[in-house]
Amino acid sequence: MELLTIGAFARASRLSPKALRLYDELGLLRPARVDPHTGYRRYDPAQLERARLVAWLRRLGMPLADIRAVCELGPQTAAREVRAYWARVEADTAARRDLAAFLVDHLSGKDTTMSAAHSTLRIRYAVLSDTGSVRESNDDAGYAGPRLLAVADGFGGGRHASEAAIEALKPLDAGVPGGELLSALEDAAHRARESVSALAASDPALRDVGTTLTAMVWSGSRLGLVHIGDSRAYLLRHGELFQITHDHTVVQSLIDEGRITEEEAASHPQRSLLLRAVGGDSAFEPDLALRDARAEDRYLLCSDGLTGVVPAGEIQRVLASAADPGGAVRELVALAIRAGGPDNVTCVVADVAEQAALTSA
């Protein structure tokens, strides 16, 4: 096969000679031969496909090290890697979009006006936690108050960590100014982490203690959400159920990257392995989000003792039909126990309503 000059190869690949020289320098596409005297680069026509792949991956924004790895893979594996890369980009973009929306509101002063205009919103709430049918103790903790809702699922030392995490959040129930919701939640999450670290240091038996933490705080018409681990928050709006947290588990990241299906995840041997948590070996990276609360919304916070055994369709049915938060948590916990109750189960349900609607109810 005759080798092509860089000019001919550039024309055939629709890349500029400058780009080809760059790919060579970056080690992404080495010429088939470099003349030792003139330094002229010559390419094999069989390298065209790789040249185009490199160009496309660069247009995607993929980091150079990843491009190098993808180029070495067979087509099927390469396809999987590109899908996984894009899933990570989308997750990262979604998190930054939420933050940007919050900053726009905050900087334009919309925050305070909106809270003032809707300051009549209040929540009605209920919490129920149960040991389940298999475990000997209940290591979950739940809390519901006029402004704070929280669920924590402890591990590695009874309910010490879950209770400590919720204690650290409780001061928020006294109220937080709308503009400070996220920073107050972030500070509280750090306090939770410090409490859990102190526990772990206090007793060798509690060395691996940790907890999940999913909590919401209301201020005016806004609510702040902090989430770390695999407990979940759901929103029921106009009868439709939306999961508004993302599990920080190994299996969820495998689903996101297209490596396993939801069905495979349900029976995956490592389905309870956490990527992030408060304490333990996992990374402490809480997700923080700000949402607009609306009258008639119903929220559910729950530990994986519910979602591990009760399908989303059933949860939606109960939330859409229960007359009040108390009825909803009782029915949801009963469903988990009827499904075998293999884990501790904790549910917090809150209804958002106008102040007047609540007092007359």
Residues that bind Mg ion (CB under 5 A): 153, 303-305, 343
Residues 6+ apart with CB under 8 A from 136: none
Task: Spell out the alpha helix ranges (H) of 1-63.
Answer: 6-13, 17-25, 48-60
**195 or 303: whose CB is closer to Mg ion?**
303
List residues bridging with 274 in a β-sheet.
Answer: 249
Q: What is the rounded CA–CA span in Å between residue 209 and residue 164? A: 11
Q: What is the rounded CA–CA span in Å between residue 163 and residue 248? A: 20
**102 or 143: whose CB is closer to Mg ion?**
143
Helix axes of 64-71 and 48-60: crossing angle, nearest 10 degrees? 150
**153 or 331: whose CB is closer to Mg ion?**
153
> Residue 350 CB, nearest distance to Mg ion (Å)?
21
**153 or 247: whose CB is closer to Mg ion?**
153
| Environment class of 268 (CB within 10 Å of its CB; exposed 0-12, middle 13-18, buried 19+) | middle
**195 or 211: whose CB is closer to Mg ion?**
211
**81 or 230: whose CB is closer to Mg ion?**
230
> Residue 153 CB, nearest distance to Mg ion (Å)?
4
Q: What is the DSSP letter of 264?
A: H
What are the angstrom distances between the C-alpha of 150 and each of 127, 294, 304, 305? 9, 19, 14, 15
